Amino acid sequence: MKVALRHVFVLVVCAFALFPILFVISAAINPLGTLASTSLLPTGASLANFANLLSSDSYPFGRWFFNSVSIALMSSFASLLLSMFAAYAFSRMRFAGRRVGLLALLLIQMFPQFLAIVTIFMIFTRVTELYPAFGFNTVWGLMLLYLGGALGVNTWLMKGFLDTVPKELDEAATVDGATHAQIFWRVIMPLVTPILAVTALLAFIGTMSEFLMANVFLRDTESKTLAVGMWGMIAGDHRNANFGMFAAGTLLTAIPTVGVFLWLQKYIVSGLTAGAVKG
C-alpha cells in the first residue's frame, strides 16, 4: 500500500516533468514546423524538421553538437578532478585558513558573473593577442574560463559527501604506511564514485546549457556551441517559423545528457559507502 502511494506521487511529478517535453516533441515532429500550429499532442508526424536542421547550411548543427559535447566532456572531467582534490583537502585535513577558504569559495561564487563578463571580455581580449590558441573562438579558452568556477559548488557537494565517509578508513591506511596520495587514489576515490557520478552529470549538464560566456566567447558560426547556435535560430523574426527546427534541436541536444545519465546511473544508484561501513 505504502509503496503504491509512492508510485502515485512519483507518477504525478513525472507528469509535471514531462508535459513541456511532450510539447517540444510534438513541435519537433509537427510537419508545419511553426509555433502557432503546435499543440500538446502531435497533429501529424514527419521528420522534416530534423532533416531541415541537419541539412541546413546556415545552421551547422552537427558541428555545434560536436563542439558542445567535447567541451562538456573535457571540462566536466577536469573540473571534477580539481574539485575532488580540493574537497579531499577540506574534508580530511585541518590547516590554517581552511574555514576562511571554504567561506571564500561560497562567497566568490555569489558574485553576479553576468556583470563580471565585461571584465572577462577585456581580459580575454588581451589573451587573444598574446595566445591566440587560448583566446576567443577557441575551445581551450572557454574551458579555462569554465575551470575558473570548478572550485565552488562541486567542492562543497563532494566535501559534504566525504564528511560522511568514515575517517577510520584512511586512518587504517595511514597506519599501514600509505601516503596521502595513495589514500586519495586507492581508498577515497573508489568510495566516492556515487558523488563523482552525480557531480560529473551536473557539470556536464551545466556546461551543455551554459549560454552567456559561450555567447561572448564564440563568434564564428563554426566554433559555436549548441546553446549559442540554437539561440540564433529563433532570434528576431525567425522565432515562429523556425520553432519546429528549434524543437528538434532541443531534443537532439538533450540526447548526450541523457546518455551520460544512463551511463552513470548504476554508480549513482549503488550505495558504495554503506558497503564500506559494513566491511
Q: Which residues neighbour 60 within 8 Å (Cβ) at sequence distance 6 or greater?
A: 221, 222, 229
Comparing CA positions, the residue from 62, 77, 37, 17 lying closest to residue 200 is: 77
Using CB under 8 A, which of 32, 54, 198, 241 touches other proteins? 198
SS3 percent helix, strand, coil of the chain, rounded to 5, is 75, 0, 25
Q: Are 35 and 192 in contact (CB under 8 A)?
A: no
What minimum distance in Å lies between the beta carbon of 57 and other proteins? 19
Does position 189 interact with other proteins (CB under 8 A)? The reply is no
Nearer to other proteins, 55 or 168 (CB): 168
Does position 3 interact with other proteins (CB under 8 A)? The reply is yes
Nearer to other proteins, 45 or 168 (CB): 168
- Residue in the block written with cell 566491511: 279
d(CA 218, CA 11): 41
> Alpha helices of the chain — where are they, by DSSP H?
2-29, 48-55, 61-92, 98-108, 113-130, 139-147, 153-163, 168-175, 180-182, 189-191, 193-208, 212-217, 226-233, 238-241, 243-269, 272-278
What minimum distance in Å lies between the beta carbon of 84 and other proteins? 9
Comparing CA positions, the residue from 253, 147, 139 lying closest to residue 203 is: 147
Does position 109 interact with other proteins (CB under 8 A)? The reply is yes
Restricting to residues 44-73, name those near other proteins by CB under 8 A. none
Binding string to other proteins for residues 117 to 156, with x set by CB under 8 A, is what? -xxx-xx-----xxx------------xx-xxxxxxx-xx
What minimum distance in Å lies between the beta carbon of 46 and other proteins? 20
- Applying CB under 8 A, what is the total number of residues that bind other proteins? 115
Restricting to residues 68-107, name those near other proteins by CB under 8 A. 81-83, 85-86, 88-90, 92-95, 98-99, 101, 103, 105-107
Q: Are 186 and 115 in contact (CB under 8 A)?
A: no
d(CA 170, CA 167): 6
Nearer to other proteins, 14 or 51 (CB): 14
Nearer to other proteins, 54 or 153 (CB): 153
What minimum distance in Å lies between the beta carbon of 131 and other proteins? 6
Using CB under 8 A, which of 49, 67, 76, 253 touches other proteins? 253
Nearer to other proteins, 40 or 45 (CB): 40
Comparing CA positions, the residue from 272, 89, 101 lying closest to residue 180 is: 89
What minimum distance in Å lies between the beta carbon of 166 and other proteins? 10
DSSP designation for 183: I
Binding string to other proteins for residues 218 to 247, with x set by CB under 8 A, is what? --------xx--xx--x--------x--xx
What minimum distance in Å lies between the beta carbon of 45 and other proteins? 18
Nearer to other proteins, 55 or 179 (CB): 179
Grid cell for residue 29: 515532429
